[in-house]
Amino acid sequence: MMQGIASQVNKKIEFAGELYRQAKHPIALTGAGISTPSGIPDFRSEGTGLWAKNEAMDAASLSVFRYDPSRFYNWFRPLANQIIRAVPNAAHIALADLENSGYLDAIITQNIDILHQKAGSKNLIEMHGSLRTLSCTQCYQQIEAAPYLKPFVEEGTIPHCPSCDAILKPDVILFGEQLPQKAWLKAQNAARNCDLILVIGSSLEVLPVAGLPMQTLDRGGHLIIINQTPTYLDVRADIVFSQDVAELLPELTNRVLNHG
């Protein structure tokens, strides 16, 4: 249970739990804010986000990777180190509990950190790819990333293809790169066919993913937002929470799973 929780927030959680239990096809949309309690920096918080500390919108672009992959890898190395060391927090585990109990149809995630999988979630739609695999830039062979990430993080060894020795690219979406079409179609289908979407740790600033909750709302579905900064859809949401997601989501999950 959350310690010292305000009665007003407690009532909102109770209402959100009731709304959630009434849903027949709930889904979740997660952003960087669900992983910051696990030590993964977000991308836009002023002064602390990766974009504030580095010229990431340049270094993490597809054009830079093509012409100067070492520049991308130099920027990416500290983040890769944080990702491979990170463990799921209580919010990731709460979502996995909802899914495994039959209370969550799918998770659409903007994150590449694999923490949902580590927590036990299975029905994931990864909009920006993930660090599970690498792909060869020449022969297009896809390879499990784990054996290459440790020497890269520890020694700075840029991964090369075991077949043709070309540079391997992490299967994550860089600036200037198209979203994976299959994932995008699945995400749209999930948003259009659910009756409740739970937005967690996303500022809803990055299109086209930020528009997915509108597809739910336009079809009469409900919206619950858990995010520490305002979003453009706060005015349309049934409930908005600004509390720490790693504290609030387990409490909401408890209300859903243990009601009555």
How far is the C-alpha of 198 from the C-alpha of 12, rounded, in Å?
A: 14
Q: Is the peptide bond before 151 cis (omega within 30 degrees of 0)?
A: no
How far is the C-alpha of 206 from the C-alpha of 34, rounded, in Å?
A: 16
Residues 76 and 26 in one domain: no
Both structure tokens of 219 = 């079809």
Mean pLDDT over the full length of the chain: 91
Cβ atoms of residues 159 and 167 within 8 Å: yes
Closest residue by Cα to residue 246 from 14, 35, 53, 23: 35
Both structure tokens of 220 = 């009469």
Query: Is the pLDDT at 124 greater than 90, yes or no?
Result: yes
Cite the DSSP H helix spans in 102-244.
Answer: 115-119, 146-155, 181-193, 212-217
Residues 164 and 153 in one domain: yes
Residue 92 CA from chain centroid, whole number: 10
Name residues whose C-beta falls within 8 Å of residue 166's C-beta, 6 or more positions apart in sequence. 136, 137, 138, 139, 160
Share of the chain above pLDDT 90, in %: 84
Which CATH number is 189's domain given?
Answer: 3.40.50.1220
Residues 102 and 228 in one domain: yes
What pLDDT, on a 0 to 100 scale, did the predictor assign at position 57? 66
Residues 163 and 98 in one domain: no
Please, is 168 exposed, middle or buried when counting C-beta atoms within 10 Å of its C-beta (0-12, 13-18, 19+)? buried
Query: Which residues are part of the catalytic machinery?
Result: 128
Q: Give the model confidence (pLDDT) of 208-240 as tens digits.
A: 999 999 999 999 999 999 999 999 999 999 999
Residues 121 and 233 in one domain: yes
How far is the C-alpha of 150 from the C-alpha of 124, rounded, in Å?
A: 25
Q: Of the candidates 150, 172, 194, which is a domain's last residue?
A: 172
Cβ neighbours of 258 (radius 10 Å): 8
| Phi/psi-derived region of residue 249, left when phi > 0, alpha when psi is between -120 and 50, beta in every other case | alpha
Section 174-197 average pLDDT: 95
Which CATH number is 159's domain given?
Answer: 3.30.1600.10
Q: Of the candidates 172, 197, 231, which is a domain's last residue?
A: 172
| Phi, then psi, of 46 in degrees rounded to 5 | -60, 130
Which single residue is written with the structure tokens 């030590």?
A: 39
Residues 150 and 235 in one domain: no
Question: Sign of the C-alpha dihedral, residues 99, 205, 69, 50?
Answer: negative
In the DSSP assignment, the letter for residue 32 is G
* pTM of the entire predicted model: 0.91
Query: Is the pLDDT at 44 greater than 90, yes or no?
Result: no
Collapsing DSSP states into helix, strand and coil, what is residue 51?
A: helix
Query: Is the pLDDT at 52 greater than 50, yes or no?
Result: no
Residues 165 and 122 in one domain: no
How far is the C-alpha of 241 from the C-alpha of 135, rounded, in Å?
A: 39
Q: Give the model confidence (pLDDT) of 76-87 as tens digits.
A: 999 999 999 999
What pLDDT, on a 0 to 100 scale, did the predictor assign at position 43? 58
Residues 81 and 103 in one domain: no
| Phi, then psi, of 62 in degrees rounded to 5 | -65, -35
Cβ atoms of residues 101 and 259 within 8 Å: no
What pLDDT, on a 0 to 100 scale, did the predictor assign at position 93? 98
Query: Is the pLDDT at 29 greater than 80, yes or no?
Result: yes
Structural domain harbouring 229: 1-40+89-128+177-260
Q: How many domains does the chain have?
A: 2
